[in-house]
Structures are given as structure tokens and as C-alpha cells.
């Protein structure tokens, strides 16, 4: 029975800032990739607490919600029950200013992500056909082979048409005009001219004939230029005629322009991209493979690995094989092995279930559940997996293994790697898997690392080991839990764990014996460190720094030794409120991760000196 994802879809969209905050949404094998108008409206901590969400990553201009294997079902449910337009792309209204790298990664992922499933399926089928012919089970002259090969090779041969559609969606161009441009590049009479090495000209200008099947860069550049021309024409032409004049002009201009300029330039860029990687690879394949494979898991964390898809696609188009995704392929087995090591070592039933599932999905090429749910969470397993991946990557580079299709390494896709270095690649995958598993089991994990997320209490700690540190109230007033304050940064506990108090009078006192680490001249905030090592941030009101010290009278200075109850600052509550600011004052433990537990008072009011936070060492 299919699982119902309606509530999860609604909760995700709610905590992403609502459907009005979504500029675009696509998904890859494990992640929902949102482009948001305003990232500040998203509640990351609430998203990560949702059952069904592994983690949330902000990278490459995207807000990535990691789901795992069920991402496709959640993605479709979001479209069905929340009204978010899938595969949309509306950059207008965004206040997010990204750098060139982030914009480039966002563009690449937006173009390639929708077609990865088809490319992966075609790659697996192509690998199986290679296995069947190698083993003599199927003749490449048979009708069966020809039909199945057409099925798996079509997406690669007609890749410009597929990319034309996704590029048009990304660049806000007419997708069918874009597909027509790509179709012209693959038109039989034009491909026949190239095969016959004949020369032609357009209006007297020589046409550089190029083989466009399987190419990537030319059509993406062509569609980008098309999108700019369309926008210009739609803005300048009268409404009565632009619906038919715009596509006419676009086809008449962009197709010749692509054959004359864009295509040759794009083809040259693509070849430079492929030859540049090949040059670096050939300097020392073993060292290069080890370095790339070691850092690859870190790129996966930030979703940057998709930025290499054009390199791989160009390698396949120009050389007929790729080594980049082959070198990084054993990482999938390394992460799965590390998750298996945790599964075998832990006695915690909940973690055993998570690690066992992640170890299984990792073998099928889906590593995010293993990375975010297990290895990265406990750090050492992740490091061991990176080392195992690096060793395997060095072996893969040394034997010169490559893939005949764009596929990630998994037990299903191994046939795609048949050819030079295949046996060495298999050995590398085995080393990565068992290296990750054995290393994690022996050195990377024990149950004392397990932390209860509700209480932050280590399972290894007993009642006899507990040592309490008390933090007193810095003011008389009403006590609030952090999640109820209006400022999201404080409410989400991104700045620290603790509590908030609404002062009854304009005085804040030190809650501990210790030192003033920072006394802001504006008077709105103080950083304290107690003699027992607790780091405390007291922040008077929200956005009160904008007052630039007005209505505040600071009584201490940075570096000063203080006692519990010493006056830190006086301020005029009435004037601050009249200026439009809240005076709710968070009291945060900023180094909370160094302690076992942070326990807040349940009382609703407190007086100066009364305990509001208990810290368990």
C-alpha cells in the first residue's frame, strides 16, 4: 500500500515559507530543491524535525530538503495538495543575491536534474546490453539487441532535444521553440552533410558543420540566447501579432546563428572542458583519483556534485566513456559500508534501523540517508568513509576504469563499467565497502556517541556523574520559552539554547560569577563567561541595535570580572517600546553542545537571582 505523504507535503511547504515563497521546485534522486524568494521565511529547524525529512542543506542558491528514496512521491504530492507549481522557474521577486558559482550550480542542476532518471535508466540498460554481448548471451546483430539499444541510446543521441526543453524551462523560454532549434541541429539532411564532409554556406557565410548528437553546451547556449531574444521581442512587439511573429523571428534568427556561431563556440567550450579534465587526469590518475574521491562526499553534502554532470556528459559525447564518475563511484560503497559498521556495532534499536536502511540504499547508489542520517551525524564514520573512498578512487584511477554511460555506481549499474580496468574497479568498490564497514566498526563508532535529541543527554552518563550549574534570572519579569519569541533566529535556537524573559524594569543583572567577554557599546547585548565555563548571551529586545545605544546606559566593559547580581545595563523600557521595539530578552547558552543537558525553568515569572536555567555537565 502506498504511503500517504499529504501531511508531510503540507508541512514542508508551510515551513518553507508558504507556496508564495517558492520561485521554483525540482527534485533529484534524494532532494527537493527549492529556489525561494526569501530564505529568512523558511524555518530550517522545524523542517528538520519533520518525520520523513533527513536534513536541510542551503547550497548553490537552493534550499535543499533531503528526503531520501521517497523524494519523487513527496515531490508529486506537494504539487497535488499544496498548489506549488512543479518544475517552475520564476526568478522575479527574489531578494537572494548569489555569487557566480552558486548561480552556475543552480542553473546546471535546474537543467540536468529533471532528466537524470531517464539517463540513469538508459545507462543501466546500456550496461546490461554490454554484459549480455560480452558473455555471448546476445548478438549485437540481432533484432532484440537493436531494439533495446535504441531504447537506451536514444536519450543520449537526442540529448540536445531533451536539454532544449529543460533549458527553456530554466531560462523562461518557449520550450517548443527551443526543441525546434535542437531538432534543426539533428535534422537528417544536416547530419548527412556532416557525415559526407560537405561544405555549405548561409547567405554567403560558411557554415561550420558539427556532429551535434549527444552534445551539451551548444544547445544550452542557444536556448539562453533564444530566451533573451524572446523577451526582447515580447516586450517590443504589439500584442496583436507577437504570438506568431516572436516564434517566427526566433526560429529564423536562432537556428542560423547556432549553426554559424553558437554551435561552434559551444562545441569548442565542451571539448575544452573535456580535454581539460582529461589533461589533469592523465598527469597522475592514481593521485588525482585519490584526491577527487576523498573530497567527493564533501561536495555531496552541499549538493555541488551535480555541477560536474556537464563534464561527464561531454566526456561521454567526445570520448565515448567517462572516468570522473567512475573514480567517485566507490564512495557510494564506502558510505554504505560505514553505515553497515554502525548497524553492526550499535545496540540502539532506533539507530540500528536507520543505519541498516541507509546501508541498503547506499548499495543502490543513494547515499544521502547514509551521510546525513548516520555517518556525518557521528563524524568519525564519515571521515573513515572519505578515507576508504579516497583509497578506492586512487585504485580506480590507476587501472584506468571508465563508464560507458552517465550512471552512479551501485550494484545495479556495475555492467556500465565493463571495459578497461573493470576488475580493478570492482576491487576498489569492495575495498571501499569493507574498508568503511570494518574501519567504522573498529574505530569509528560506539554507543556512547548516541545523543538523545530531546534532552541532549549522553547515554553514557549516569546520575552519579551529573554536575549541575545554575544560571540566575537577570531581571524581574515574565518567562517565555524560546520557541514563542517573535524573532526566528532566537526561536529556532540557531544562536543557542536557553530561555527568554520580559523585564518589568529597565535593569539587567549578571546571572553568574564570571567575566564580561563582550559588552556592546550599544548596550543591547552582552556576552558573559561563567567561572564554570558556561558562555551566555543576553540580548535585550530584537533589532534594538538599530537604536545605536539610545536609551541604554552600559555599566560594565569587556574583560571586567563580575559577580552574580552585578548591574550590567540600565535602559528606558517605555522609550524603547515607543520607538517600536520589543524588550523580550533571550538568555542563551551559546556553548550548549559542550554540556549534557540544558534544562529551562517551568515557572512563568522570575525574580532577579532565581534560577532559570540548569546546566548538566
Residues whose CB falls within 8 Å of the CB of residue 186, separated by 6 or more in sequence, listed in order? 158, 160, 161, 212, 213
From the list 28, 152, 250, 429, the catalytic residue is 28
SS3 606: strand
What distance in Å separates the CA atoms of residue 34 and residue 64, rounded to the nearest whole number? 6
CB atoms within 10 A of CB 97: 8
Query: How many CB atoms are closer than 10 A to CB 486?
Result: 9
For residues 294 and 246, what is the distance between their CA atoms, to the nearest angstrom?
Answer: 50
The C-alpha atoms of residue 260 and residue 205 are separated, in whole angstroms, by 8
Phi, psi of 469 (to 5 degrees): -125, 130
Within its chain, how far is the Cα of 291 from the centroid? Answer: 21
Q: Report how far Cα 590 is from the mean position of its chain's Cα atoms.
A: 26
What is the C-alpha to C-alpha distance for residues 400 and 130, in angstroms, rounded to an integer?
18
The answer to whether the beta carbons of residues 270 and 314 sit under 8 Å apart is yes
Q: ∠ CA(511), CA(516), CA(518), 5° rounding?
A: 120
Any catalytic annotation for residue 28? yes
- The enclosing H or E element of 473 equals none
Q: What is the rounded CA–CA span in Å between residue 456 and residue 444?
A: 21
User: What is the Cα–Cα distance from 294 to 290, expressed in whole angstroms?
Assistant: 6
Measured CA to CA, the distance from residue 498 to residue 585 in angstroms comes to: 11
CB crowding 105-130: b at 16 or more within 10 Å, else e? bbbbbbbbbbbbeebbebbbbbbbbb
* Interatomic CA distance for residues 355 and 340, integer angstroms: 6
In angstroms, the first-to-last Cα distance of the chain is 47
Q: What's the CA gap between 338 and 330, in Å, rounded?
A: 12
d(CA 597, CA 608): 23
Show the cell assigned to 448. Answer: 556512547
Total residue length of the chain: 617
Cβ proximity of 152 and 132 under 8 Å? no
Give the containing element (helix H, strand E) for 356: helix 349-363
Q: Of 325, 387, 57, which Cα lies nearest the Cα of 379?
A: 387
Residue 552's DSSP bridge partners are 571
CB atoms within 10 A of CB 145: 15
Which residues have a catalytic role annotated? Answer: 28
Amino acid at each position: 500500500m502506498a504511503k500517504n505523504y499529504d501531511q508531510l507535503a503540507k508541512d514542508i511547504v508551510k515551513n518553507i515559507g508558504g507556496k508564495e515563497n517558492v520561485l521554483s521546485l525540482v527534485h533529484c534522486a534524494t532532494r527537493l530543491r527549492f529556489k525561494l524568494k526569501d530564505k529568512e521565511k523558511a524555518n530550517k529547524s522545524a523542517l528538520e524535525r519533520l518525520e520523513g525529512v533527513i536534513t536541510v542543506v542551503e547550497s548553490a542558491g537552493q534550499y535543499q530538503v533531503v528526503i531520501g528514496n521517497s523524494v519523487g512521491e513527496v515531490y508529486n504530492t506537494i504539487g497535488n495538495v499544496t498548489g506549488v507549481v512543479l518544475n517552475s522557474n520564476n526568478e522575479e521577486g527574489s531578494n537572494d543575491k548569489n555569487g557566480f558559482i552558486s548561480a552556475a550550480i543552480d542553473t546546471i542542476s535546474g537543467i540536468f536534474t529533471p532528466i537524470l532518471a531517464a539517463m540513469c535508466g538508459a545507462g543501466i540498460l546500456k550496461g546490461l546490453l554490454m554484459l549480455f554481448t560480452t558473455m555471448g548471451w546476445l548478438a549485437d546483430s540481432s533484432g532484440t539487441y537493436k531494439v533495446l539499444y535504441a531504447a537506451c541510446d536514444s536519450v543520449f543521441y537526442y540529448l540536445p532535444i531533451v536539454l532544449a526543453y529543460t533549458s527553456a524551462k530554466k531560462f523562461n523560454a518557449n520550450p517548443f521553440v527551443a526543441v525546434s532549434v535542437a531538432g534543426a541541429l539533428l535534422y537528417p539532411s544536416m547530419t548527412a552533410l556532416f557525415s559526407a564532409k560537405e561544405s555549405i554556406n548561409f547567405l554567403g557565410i560558411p557554415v561550420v558543420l558539427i556532429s551535434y548528437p549527444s552534445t551539451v553546451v551548444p544547445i544550452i547556449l542557444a536556448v539562453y540566447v533564444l530566451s533573451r531574444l524572446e523577451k526582447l521581442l515580447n516586450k517590443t512587439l504589439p500584442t496583436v501579432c507577437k504570438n506568431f511573429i516572436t516564434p517566427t523571428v526566433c526560429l529564423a534568427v536562432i537556428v542560423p546563428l547556432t549553426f554559424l556561431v553558437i554551435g561552434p563556440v559551444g562545441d569548442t567550450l565542451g571539448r575544452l572542458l573535456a580535454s581539460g579534465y582529461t589533461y589533469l587526469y592523465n598527469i597522475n590518475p592514481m593521485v588525482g583519483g585519490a584526491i577527487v574521491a576523498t573530497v567527493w562526499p564533501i561536495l555531496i553534502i552541499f549538493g555541488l556534485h551535480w555541477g560536474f554532470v556537464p563534464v561527464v556528459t561531454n566526456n561521454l559525447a567526445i570520448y565515448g566513456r567517462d572516468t570522473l564518475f567512475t573514480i567517485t563511484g566507490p564512495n557510494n560503497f564506502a558510505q554504505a559500508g560505514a553505515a553497515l559498521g554502525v548497524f553492526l556495532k550499535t545496540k540502539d534499536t532506533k539507530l540500528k534501523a536507520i543505519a541498516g536502511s541507509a546501508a541498503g540504499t547506499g548499495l543502490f547508489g543513494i547515499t544521502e540517508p547514509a551521510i546525513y542520517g548516520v555517518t556525518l551525524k557521528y563524524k568519525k564514520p564519515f571521515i573513515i568513509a572519505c578515507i576508504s573512498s579516497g583509497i578506492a578512487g586512487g585504485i580506480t584511477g590507476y587501472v584506468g576504469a571508465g563508464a560507458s554511460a552517465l550512471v552512479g555506481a551501485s550494484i545495479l549499474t556495475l555492467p556500465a563499467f565493463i571495459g578497461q580496468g573493470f576488475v580493478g574497479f570492482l576491487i576498489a568498490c569492495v575495498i571501499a565497502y569493507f574498508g568503511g564497514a570494518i574501519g567504522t566498526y573498529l574505530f569509528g563508532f560506539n554507543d556512547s556517541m548516541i545523543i538523545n535529541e530531546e534532552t541532549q543527554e549522553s547515554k553514557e552518563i549516569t546520575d552519579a556523574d551529573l554536575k549541575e550549574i545554575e544560571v540566575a534570572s537577570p531581571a524581574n519579569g515574565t518567562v517565555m520559552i524560546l520557541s514563542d519569541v517573535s524573532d526566528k533566529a532566537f526561536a529556532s535556537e540557531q544562536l543557542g539554547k536557553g530561555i527568554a524573559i520580559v523585564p518589568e524594569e529597565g535593569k539587567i543583572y549578571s546571572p553568574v560569577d564570571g567575566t564580561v567577554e563582550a559588552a556592546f557599546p550599544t548596550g543591547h547585548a552582552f556576552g558573559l563567561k561563567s567561572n564554570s565555563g558556561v558562555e551566555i548571551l543576553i540580548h535585550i529586545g530584537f533589532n534594538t541595535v538599530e537604536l545605536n545605544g539610545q536609551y541604554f546606559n552600559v555599566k560594565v566593559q569587556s574583560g571586567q570580572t563580575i559577580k552574580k547580581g552585578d548591574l550590567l545595563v540600565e535602559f528606558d523600557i517605555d522609550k524603547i517600546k515607543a520607538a517600536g521595539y520589543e524588550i523580550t530578552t533571550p538568555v542563551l547558552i551559546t556553548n550548549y553542545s559542550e554540556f549534557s543537558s540544558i534544562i529551562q525553568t517551568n515557572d512563568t515569572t522570575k525574580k532577579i537571582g532565581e534560577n532559570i536555567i540548569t546546566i548538566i555537565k
